[in-house]
Amino acid sequence: MQRLPFQGVRVLDSTYVFALPYAGGLLADLGAEVIKIEGPGRIDVTRGGAWSGAFPENTPGEDWWNRSSTYNLLNRGKKSLTLDLSNPKARALFADLVKVSDVVMENYTPRVMKGWGLDYPNLRKLRPDIIMVSNTGYGHGNGPYSNYPAQATTQEATHGHCAVTGYIGGPPSKAGQSFVDFLASWTALFGIAAALRLRQRTGQGQWIDIGMYQCGVMFLSEFLMDYIANGRVAPRIGNRHPFRAPQGVYPARGEDQWVVLSVGSDEQWRALCDLMGKPHLAHDPRFADSLSRLKNHDALDEIIRAWTSQHDRYELMYRLQEVGIPAGPVFNARDMHIDPHYRAREFLEYVEYPPERGMGRRPLIGRPWKASATPARIQGPAPRLGEHNEAILVGLLGLTPEDLQELEKAGIISQVPRESRLEPRVSPEEMVRRGILAEWDPQYRQRLGI
């Protein structure tokens, strides 16, 4: 059996919501032993709060905190330990775990770990070569925003993404829900891999201090460079491009069906004119070169929409690509699950849950890369809350079963959350009626093979 890249690495994952929990899930895919730590009175909001996603067959069940889609996606392959870190006894147990671990991940505001005596200077006293990853909105330090709580749903504003996203003449816009969460996840993976490499060579640990807004700024480099070089502040141009024309999202045949295309040269423009059955447009002075096409983009859009709306989106993709024009259909959630290329790449991996979990067989997204020498896969389902309390506290730290009972009586550990955070649920049909969902497919189980 091939050894996975992070096999033998133990990670304490005291993180919530999305960015670092997802990084922890990917570390588990890659062979790390990842221990997710939650407080019995402060379970991860992805278990039943606003970020919980969906439940199997839209049924939360009696142990809803173990069944939500977001929690199960982000925490696959991990172990679960509950510890009420507001209690000094729990912090002492956490400290003991640090001594036998390699990486600590946390995403509290800067004051929290310092207030608990668990910040990096104190963790180094427990294990000098420990690697700590902190993920906050604006990073630790003396900056005026450092102590602000933050989440990716608003971060796009302060890292500048909203300013360049939106339609011509319209207000700034977000891109989905939490774009920068993924950037922070991948940044954390890179930082951990680099830190482990350095520790292997020198024996030195380190602190990785991630400011999520900086992750977002990194992906606006062309706009920053344009301002530095030319003093220009980019306008909002919607689906258009500064110098490629025509470019946009156009309707295809059928309800809510769309295709994207982008023309980057006069040769591609002539090819598009031929496909549309309008070769004369290639010689029309309004569209003869890229500057003219940019100036008359509105007129172009009307012509292209009239053509694309008569054809299937896949047919358009194939015909456009055959003549060298970048193009693709717009996928929704159903399309991404049943698309043959996603299937062929095995981007969706199936996880079997134990019968007592009542979850069955579920597809989860894998990783956006393939490694020939270390073919990582999802190692198993996400754990039940506190599922590994005994294995970790007794088996790893050497506590007695009596100690475990005392911790349970004191509310320091538990397998049931102290407070209910389950958001009210409505049927898929009702969510469609309210506009929460675009549509609901009653054949989803057959389509997914579950």
Concerning whether 298 is annotated as a catalytic residue, the answer is: no
Closest CA to 419 of 39, 86, 61: 39
Count of C-beta atoms within a 10 Å radius of residue 438? 11
Contact indicator for 349, 72 with CB cutoff of 8 Å: no
- Interatomic CA distance for residues 375 and 397, integer angstroms: 32
Closest CA to 337 of 362, 316, 354, 313: 362
- Interatomic CA distance for residues 355 and 381, integer angstroms: 12
Return the HEC string of 93-109.
Answer: HHHHHHHCCCEEEECCC
Q: How far is CA 236 from CA 152, 162, 166, 217, 250, in A?
A: 21, 9, 5, 17, 19
Place of tokens 């189980």: 445
User: Taking every pair of C-alpha atoms in the chain, what is the biggest distance, in angstroms?
Assistant: 86
Query: What contacts 286, CB < 8 A, 6 or more positions away?
Result: 292, 293, 295, 296, 299
List 7's β-bridge partners, or say none.
Answer: none
Q: Which of 44, 84, 102, 181 is labelled catalytic?
A: 181
Peptide bond into 246 cis (omega under 30): yes
Place of tokens 């009626």: 433
Burial class (CB in 10 A: 0-12, 13-18, 19+), 27: buried
Count of C-beta atoms within a 10 Å radius of residue 261? 21
Residues with catalytic annotation? 181
